[in-house]
């Protein structure tokens, strides 16, 4: 009986690299001037069924065999290039086949094995040269010797190899004769949407070595990392090494998992169900009824949330980029289910984050610049960057500090976060739809005051919301009866009184699938939007009339119409989509864009915080004050109020309010009690 000899692993890899596909990849190395080759574990499995498992179990040993085999094949195909890179060698990188290992599951049993991690990059360091072969000169005899380097610390020779010397040092490190390679450290955090309830996100440091791995991704990017798990012990001064070790990954290959939301895996059966749903003529009604079915009413707000979830199409033009994501604000009385709606959207969105204004800082929302152990600075991504291509739900946005709220201005309109701190100047993507909730400044919404007076938010932020809705708690017999029955049934059954037409898991996948559709405006839809916009603008042409709508609202209308077409998986925006967009925009303007004193549409309430009627009265007050100042120097308050009533028919209480507003803004001041003067 003859004994079967196992083929040498290096020879097996050599045979694998002789296939047409990998011969071509090896030839491309010489053309591109690279020193690494990527192999797909699926291809290796077809050639040798046991090799992928051995690479996973003993990556250091088997990747060394693979690298030598790849270099030998390169030497056969491109001998000149192989000689050129002989000292560097060829690095084999692997991808595919592995199932992702959750960061929180990674433990001692994974040390020294090849794993695949998925997560978001939250921090990156600057690129640092790493010494691979260090040159040392003996200070006694001057002999130079070279030491291959591995691990964290620089290792000097144990003794001089000059026979006449043989001393144990001292040695001097020679930078010029040493060999270096670029390296970088990144921190990867588990996906926020995969986080178990009540748990804090886990993160892991990943070390990247080699020109082809560094700077492949930046904070906010979603990545798949193939690498070897390493354990490292910390050292305490004068005490030695600790028994506890920290884990990190030595990356072998980094693959971008895509910044789109199609990361959700959809089976062929689910795809068939999604396409069947999209053909339903009542699909929009079904989606609205499936959004937070436990919350009674608010059909128009749920419709706006539907548009927010699907989003419009981003346009990247040569000179500017026009955002596709929508921003929606809900201003509501206490107990109107604002927070519950936000929580629901965060769960149903393929990529959603929830944060509350009270516990949010500018750095937490955008990006932070933090010092590293090595003494440099690193960039750590915040909530808006992590929610890129997703939805950020910000509760109690009015409770945020002024200096922190300023940070979201750029993200809301430009969809980028610009950082210039600690020597780091960077622009990160934050293509995030924002759903925000706020409480009225005086506890309950006052219909006799403008939206800017009702909410302590600056107009710079208010104007960046596509749709703003007011959720008022007004006693109304019929509605109260229906809501009472709904809440009681909810508690009695422990489930919504009406079942959602589309289950939450399927709805999440439906949204993810639909976001790949890029609808285009049809001439009919374009004409309908144009008619509405020009009709609203023409109403403002009369002298003294307020401006009803601006180009910002026209862009919002286009985004809403595109989102509605996406919800039906249509490649075209029809006239009916334009009509629905106009209807919801009218509803929003009716709630927050009407001047309460004149009853006319006035977009300046949102854009500037003051309706035109108020601006006209303030202008009249200031002009009268200037005239009276010329005569008396200082103007008596009571005289000014009388003149306003006589000349402009402004009642005393309103005149008092106008004066108080100008005093608050610092336009006028009181040099002494009862007298006014313009600054």
Say whether both 108 and 187 belong to one domain.
yes
Report the run of H or E that residue 504 belongs to, with start and end: helix 504-514
Q: In what order do the strands lie in the sheet with 352-356?
A: 352-356, 391-395, 433-438, 327-332, 467-471
- Give the pLDDT mean for 505-516: 84
The whole domain housing 646 covers 612-678
| Two structure tokens written together for 632 | 């008396």
Say whether both 498 and 351 belong to one domain.
yes
Residue corresponding to tokens 């040092």: 169
Answer yes or no: are the C-beta atoms of 331 and 424 closer than 8 Å. Answer: no
Answer yes or no: are the C-beta atoms of 171 and 161 closer than 8 Å. Answer: no
Q: Does residue 38 surpass a pLDDT of 70?
A: yes
Say whether both 333 and 460 belong to one domain.
yes
The pLDDT, as a whole number, for residue 268 is 80
- Kindly write down the DSSP assignment for every residue of 569-613, as one continuous string: T-SEE-HHHHHHHHHHHHHHHHHHSB-TTT-SB-THHHHTSS-HH
Most confident among 295-309, 464-478, 479-493 (mean pLDDT) = 295-309
Task: Classify 259 as helix, strand or coil.
Answer: coil
pLDDT in tens, 539-549: 655 554 555 56
Q: Is the peptide bond before 398 cis (omega within 30 degrees of 0)?
A: no
Q: Is residue 261 part of a domain?
A: no
Domain boundary among 67, 95, 123: 95
617 or 203, which is more confident? Answer: 203
257 or 182, which is more confident? Answer: 182
CB count within 10 Å of CB 568 equals 21
Q: Which are the contacts of 443, defined by CB distance < 8 A and separation ≥ 6?
A: 333, 334
Q: Is residue 570 part of a domain?
A: no
Residue corresponding to tokens 């374009």: 526
As to burial, measured by CB atoms within 10 angstroms (0-12 exposed, 13-18 middle, 19+ buried), residue 130 is middle
Q: Is residue 522 part of a domain?
A: no
Answer yes or no: are the C-beta atoms of 603 and 553 closer than 8 Å. Answer: yes
CA distance 300 to 306: 10
- Give the pLDDT mean for 594-616: 56
Most confident among 133-147, 488-502, 623-637 (mean pLDDT) = 133-147
The pLDDT, as a whole number, for residue 400 is 79
Say whether both 187 and 273 belong to one domain.
no
The pLDDT, as a whole number, for residue 613 is 61
Answer yes or no: are the C-beta atoms of 338 and 357 closer than 8 Å. Answer: no
- Give the pLDDT mean for 84-100: 83
Domain at 638, CATH number: 1.10.10.10
Kindly report the average pLDDT of the chain as a whole number: 78
pLDDT in tens, 245-279: 888 888 888 887 654 444 466 778 888 888 888 88
The pLDDT, as a whole number, for residue 215 is 78
Domain boundary among 197, 221, 256: 256
Domain boundary among 516, 540, 575: 516
Specify the pTM: 0.67
Task: Classify 491 as helix, strand or coil.
Answer: helix
The beta strands (E) that lie in 350-439 are given as: 352-356, 367-371, 377-381, 391-395, 416-421, 424-429, 433-438
Which of 446-450, 611-615, 622-626 shows the lowest mean pLDDT across its residues? 611-615
Going by C-alpha positions, the residue among 584, 568, 482, 488 that lies closest to residue 532 is 584
Residue corresponding to tokens 């009986």: 1
310 or 655, which is more confident? Answer: 310
The pLDDT, as a whole number, for residue 263 is 47
The pLDDT, as a whole number, for residue 391 is 86
Residue corresponding to tokens 């930046």: 218
The pLDDT, as a whole number, for residue 266 is 74
CA angle 88, 9, 214 (to 5 degrees): 35
The pLDDT, as a whole number, for residue 482 is 75
Say whether both 360 and 404 belong to one domain.
yes
Confidence of residue 2 (pLDDT cuts 50, 70, 90): very low
Q: Which are the contacts of 65, defined by CB distance < 8 A and separation ≥ 6?
A: 9, 10, 13
pLDDT in tens, 361-385: 777 787 777 777 666 677 777 778 8
CA distance 384 to 430: 6
Question: How many structural domains is the chain composed of?
Answer: 4
């Amino acid at each position: 009986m003859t004994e079967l000899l196992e083929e040498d692993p290096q020879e097996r890899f050599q045979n694998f690299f002789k296939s047409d596909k990998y011969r071509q990849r090896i030839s491309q190395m010489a053309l591109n001037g690279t020193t690494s080759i990527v192999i797909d574990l699926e291809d290796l499995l077809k050639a040798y069924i046991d090799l992928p498992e051995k690479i996973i179990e003993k990556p250091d040993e088997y990747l060394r065999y693979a690298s030598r085999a790849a270099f030998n094949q390169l030497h056969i195909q491109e001998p000149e290039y192989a000689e050129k890179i002989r000292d560097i060698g060829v690095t084999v990188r692997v991808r595919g086949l592995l199932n992702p290992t959750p960061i929180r599951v990674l433990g001692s049993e994974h040390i020294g094995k090849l794993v695949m991690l998925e997560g978001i990059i939250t921090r990156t360091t600057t690129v640092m040269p790493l010494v691979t072969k260090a040159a040392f000169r003996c200070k006694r005899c001057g002999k130079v010797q070279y030491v291959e380097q591995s691990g964290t610390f620089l290792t000097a020779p144990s003794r001089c190899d000059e026979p006449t010397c043989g001393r144990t040092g001292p040695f001097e490190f020679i930078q010029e004769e040493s060999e270096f390679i670029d390296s970088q450290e990144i921190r990867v955090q588990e996906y926020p949407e995969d986080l178990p309830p009540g748990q804090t996100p886990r993160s892991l440091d990943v070390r990247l070595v080699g020109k082809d791995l560094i700077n492949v991704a930046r904070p906010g990017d979603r990545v798949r990392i193939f690498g070897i798990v390493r354990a490292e012990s910390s050292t305490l001064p004068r005490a030695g090494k600790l028994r506890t070790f920290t884990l990190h990954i030595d990356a072998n290959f980094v693959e971008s998992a895509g910044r789109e939301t199609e990361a959700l895996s959809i089976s062929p059966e689910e795809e068939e169900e999604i396409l069947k749903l999209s053909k339903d003529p009542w699909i929009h009604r079904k989606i609205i009824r499936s959004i937070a079915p436990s919350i009674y009413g608010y059909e128009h707000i749920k419709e706006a949330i539907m548009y927010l979830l699907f989003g419009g199409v981003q346009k990247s033009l040569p000179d500017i980029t026009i955002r596709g994501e929508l921003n929606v604000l809900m201003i509501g009385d206490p107990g109107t289910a604002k927070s519950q709606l936000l929580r629901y959207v965060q769960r149903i969105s393929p990529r959603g984050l929830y944060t509350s204004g009270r516990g949010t800082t500018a750095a937490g929302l955008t990006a932070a610049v933090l010092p590293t152990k090595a003494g440099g600075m690193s960039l750590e991504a915040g909530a808006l960057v992590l929610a890129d291509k997703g939805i950020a739900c910000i509760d109690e946005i009015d409770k945020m500090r002024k200096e922190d709220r300023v940070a979201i201005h750029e993200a809301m309109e430009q969809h980028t976060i610009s950082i210039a701190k600690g020597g780091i100047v960077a622009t990160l993507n934050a293509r995030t739809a924002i759903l925000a909730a706020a409480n009225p400044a005086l506890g309950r919404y006052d219909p006799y005051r403008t939206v800017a007076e009702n909410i302590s938010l600056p107009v710079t932020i208010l104007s960046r919301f596509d749709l703003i809705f007011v959720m008022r708690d007004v006693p109304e017999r019929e509605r109260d009866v229906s809501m009472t029955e709904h809440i009681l049934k909810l508690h009695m059954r422990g489930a919504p009184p009406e079942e959602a037409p589309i289950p939450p898991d399927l709805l999440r996948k439906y949204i993810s699938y639909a976001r790949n559709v890029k609808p285009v405006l049809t001439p009919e839809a374009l004409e309908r939007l144009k008619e509405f916009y020009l009709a609203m603008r023409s109403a403002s042409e009369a002298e003294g009339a307020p401006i009803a709508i601006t180009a910002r609202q026209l862009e919002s209308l286009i985004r809403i119409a595109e989102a509605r077409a996406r919800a039906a998986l249509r490649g075209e925006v029809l006239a009916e989509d334009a009509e629905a967009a106009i209807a919801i925009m009218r509803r929003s303007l009716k709630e927050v864009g009407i001047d309460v004193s004149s009853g006319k549409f006035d977009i300046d309430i949102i854009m500037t915080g003051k309706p035109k009627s108020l601006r006209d009265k303030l202008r009249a007050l200031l002009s009268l004050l200037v005239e009276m100042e010329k005569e008396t120097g200082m103007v008596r308050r009571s005289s000014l109020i009388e003149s306003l009533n006589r000349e402009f028919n402004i009642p005393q209480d309103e005149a008092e309010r106008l004066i108080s507003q100008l005093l608050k803004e610092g336009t006028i001041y009181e040099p002494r009690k009862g007298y006014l003067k313009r600054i």
